[in-house]
Amino acid sequence: MFKVARASQYLAITGGGIEDIKLSKKSWVLPWQKCTVFDVSPVNYTFKVQAMSAEKLPFVLPAVFTIGPRVDDTEALILYARLISPHDKQSNHVNELVEGVIEGETRVLAASMTMEEIFKGTKEFKKEVFDKVQLELDQFGLVIYNANVKQLVDVPGHEYFSYLGQKTQMEAANQARIDVAEAKMKGEIGAKERTGLTLQNAAKIDAESKIISMQRQGEGTKAEIKVKTEVKVFENQKEADVAKANSELAMKKAAWTKDAKVAEVEATKAVALREAELQTQVEKMNALTRTEKLKAEFLSKASVEYETKVQEANWELYNKQKQAEAVLYEKQKQAEAQKAEADATFYSKQREAEGLVALASAQGTYLRTLLDAVQNDYSCLRDFLMINNGTYQEIAKTNALAVRDLQPKISVWNHGGEQGIGGAGGSGNAMKDIAGLYKMLPPVLDTVYQQTGMQPPAWIGTLSK
């Protein structure tokens, strides 16, 4: 549909294909678009704004504003089309909007001016109202074409302007009377003129004296009241300071009492905690002492039992090996001489290799067993192997040869009991050898200590000082 606007109208088109609002005088309106026609002709708004001056004097300001859309600005027309065009320009909505803006700005401006400034500077007052109202109307796309501020009018019950007019009339009448009196005075006798002037001056001086006296009395009363007020305020302030100081002192005393009690409790608890810590350390040391004592008691016994079992296992292995060799020898004798000789050579080499493997395996098992027995303590394992391999005996022999001609101090330890040990058969002989080994340990260890200062391991024993 093709639409055309009148001379004072615009088309506001929205819908598909248009981002916001399209303004035009004539245009095609598609089915999926909407068109609104709005009038841009200005409208007169008449108001009677009630305001109040800086002296709190109310007055009525009759005003007539001619307001309409800003036709020379496209953005302003779009604002008007978006905000105002849906309403009739003569509707209460638009009327209240414009009236609210004008009344608000007028009242604010009037409150900052005295009545005399408003009355005498009507032109400046009108310009200020015009500028401030226009600033608010810009956000609606409106412009003030004309603003006519009429004569200020009194609010019912407040006859300021009426009294002001009467004052002007009375001043004019009085001035006329004065002029007439002066003309008469000029025509009368000088004495009467002087007498009149004297009486007038005397009355004027009396009146001024009374006024000055009343002013002085009023100023004295005001000064007295001011001093009393300041004294009372000072007394109240000091009482408040005393109360505040008492309150702060009470709070500090309470805090000090609390801190003292807390410190006392903390000291008591600290003593108890320290006592508990010391008791715990004592218990730990007692436990360590008992542990070391048990190790010293049972480790030597375990070592003897372990050595006995190792010797028995070696003897059993030796017997089985001999039996196997005897059976193999008997079978070999039945073969041919050449084959028997070759087989014997091969078997000898094979047995030698197997013996080495078995020896290595036995030594590995032996070492692993010893490490497990001493809980992976390599120093204990080293000391045991040195004792077992006769290292200390060799050291003793070497030292004996070295000091043979020096007449050293030699200690002989003899525990006896050889008959009891030797009366138990074959196993008794093994125990006898072990007992002999342990008999030699004290003098050897004592000699090592005297020569090198080295103490034996704790699991073997300690030397007497």
Q: What is the tens place of the pLDDT at every residue in 59-90?
A: 777 878 888 888 888 788 888 777 776 666 55
Other CB atoms within a 10 A radius of the CB of residue 106 amount to 22
Spatial separation of the C-alpha atoms in residues 277 and 284, rounded to whole Å: 11
Placement of tokens 């493997």 in the chain: 357
Contact status, residue 43 vs residue 90, Cβ threshold 8 Å: yes
3-state secondary structure at position 48: strand
| DSSP structure class, residue 296 | H
Spatial separation of the C-alpha atoms in residues 349 and 343, rounded to whole Å: 10
Contact status, residue 39 vs residue 89, Cβ threshold 8 Å: yes
Tens of pLDDT, residues 90-141: 566 777 888 888 888 878 877 887 777 776 766 777 788 888 888 888 887 8
Spatial separation of the C-alpha atoms in residues 252 and 262, rounded to whole Å: 15
**What integer is the mean pLDDT of 348-372?**
82
Q: Where in the chain is the domain with CATH 3.30.479.30?
A: 40-156
Spatial separation of the C-alpha atoms in residues 7 and 37, rounded to whole Å: 12
What's the pTM?
Answer: 0.34
Contact status, residue 65 vs residue 42, Cβ threshold 8 Å: no
Residue 422 has pLDDT above 50, yes or no: no
Angle at CA 292, nearest 5°, toward 287 and 297?
125
Spatial separation of the C-alpha atoms in residues 111 and 414, rounded to whole Å: 129
Tens of pLDDT, residues 320-353: 887 877 777 777 776 566 676 666 677 777 878 8
Contact status, residue 7 vs residue 13, Cβ threshold 8 Å: no
Tens of pLDDT, residues 43-59: 888 877 777 777 777 77
| DSSP structure class, residue 155 | P
The 10 Å CB-count burial string (b at 16+, else e) for 132-145 is: bbbebbeebbbbbe
What percent of the chain clears pLDDT 90, i.e. is strictly above it? Answer: 0
Pick from 294-303, 319-328, 412-421: least confident: 412-421
Spatial separation of the C-alpha atoms in residues 168 and 171, rounded to whole Å: 5
Tens of pLDDT, residues 17-26: 778 778 777 8
Domain 40-156 architecture: 2-Layer Sandwich (3.30)
Spatial separation of the C-alpha atoms in residues 281 and 17, rounded to whole Å: 91
